[in-house]
Structure 1
């Protein structure tokens, strides 16, 4: 790789590193409604990803919650006859779709 190409590649890597992951925030969203609390955009910090938490009762979505989350893990668990689904993603605004 010549010197010019190496310099351009380094600059590209720096730009990619400097752009933050953007996630949708909503602290209370119902299926029949828009976001009721906390609607906005967060920029993920180091070790954060976009996260969506959806809560189902009898296989029907009840509420969802979206934020930037540190050390996010994809998981599903059942508690008090409700199913909690955590999903994490690494693309801009991806937690709004999942």
Structure 2
């Protein structure tokens, strides 16, 4: 019984470990193909729809998107893929809080 309880405790701690190390990160993406005033809205909407993304700020002038997200729920590749799927290729340029 004691071994079973120890095994269950070990499994539970391993399963909850990724959540314990999750952190909020901010990353800036260079975004291509933004040519009109509605483009930033589309980029923002597509990136914000990714689970774990908490904030998106898009600059039409700088052609960038700054995204804050929970790295336990998503990653920069998933955010860039969402933008790419909307027609706006994005690549990371700057990371904070990593």
TM-score normalised by L of structure 2: 0.36
More helix by share: 2
Higher relative contact order (CA 8 A, sep 6+): 2
More strand by share: 1
